[in-house]
Chains A and B, each alone.
Chain A
Amino acid sequence: MKLEELRFGTELIKRGFASMQKGGVIMDVVDAEQAVIAEEAGAVAVMALERVPSDIRKAGGVARMADPSKVAGIIDAVSIPVMGKVRIGHFVEAQVLESLGVDMIDESEVLTPADEEYHINKKAFTVPFVCGARNLGEACRRINEGAAMIRTKGEAGTGNVVEAVRHMRAITSGIHELQGMDDMELTARARVLEAPFEILAECRDLGRLPVVNFSAGGIATPCDAALMMQLGCDGVFVGSGIFKSEDPRRMAVAIVEAVNHFDDASVLAEISKGLGEAMPGLDIHTLPEHEVLRFRGN
Chain B
Amino acid sequence: MGIRIGVLALQGNVSEHIRAFERALDALSLKGEVIPLRNAEDIPRCDAIAIPGGESTTISRLISKNRMREPLKSFHGGIFATCAGMVLVASEVDDSRVEPLGLMDITVARNAFGRQRDSCEMPIVLEGDREPFPGYFIRAPVVESVGPAATVICRADHVVGAVQGKHMALSFHPELGGDLRLHIRFLRNLIEA
Chain A positions within 8 Å of B, measured between CB atoms, are 1, 5-10, 12-13, 16-17, 19-24, 39, 42-45, 75, 79-81, 98, 101-104, 126-128, 256-257, 260
Q: Is the CB of B58 within 8 A of A256?
A: yes
| A20 and B84 contacting across the interface, CB-CB below 8 Å | yes
Contact indicator B58/A42 (Cβ below 8 Å): yes
Interface residues of B in 9-66 (CB under 8 A from A): 9-16, 53-55, 57-58, 61-62, 65-66
Please determine whether B117 and A24 come into contact, CB atoms closer than 8 angstroms: no
**Interface residues, chain B, CB within 8 Å of chain A?**
9-16, 53-55, 57-58, 61-62, 65-66, 83-84, 95, 97, 110-111, 114-123, 136-139, 156-157, 173, 176-177
- Point out the residue from B12, B66, B119, B122 that lies within 8 Å of A1, measured CB to CB: B122
- Total cross-chain contacts (CB, 8 A): 118
Q: Which of B58, B114, B122, B177 contacts A7 (CB 8 A)?
A: B122
Q: How far is the CA of A160 from the CA of B79 in the complex (A)?
A: 42
User: What does DSSP make chain A's interface, helix, strand, loop or mixed?
Assistant: loop
Within the assembled complex, what's the spacing in Å between the Cα atoms of A104 and B84?
18
CA distance A42 to B176 in the complex (A): 24
**10 smallest beta-carbon distances between A and B, as pairs:** A103-B116, A23-B11, A7-B121, A44-B55, A19-B13, A42-B61, A101-B115, A8-B120, A42-B58, A6-B120
Measured between alpha carbons, how far is A81 from B57 in the docked complex, in Å? 11
Q: In the complex the two chains form, is A16's CB within 8 Å of B136's CB?
A: yes
Across-interface contacts of B95 in A (CB, < 8 A): 79
Q: Given A16-B176, A17-B116, A260-B62, A22–B55 Cβ distance below 8 Å?
A: no
B189 to chain A, nearest CB (A): 26
Contact status A5-B122, CB under 8 Å: yes
Contact across chains for B54 and A22 when beta carbons are under 8 A apart: yes
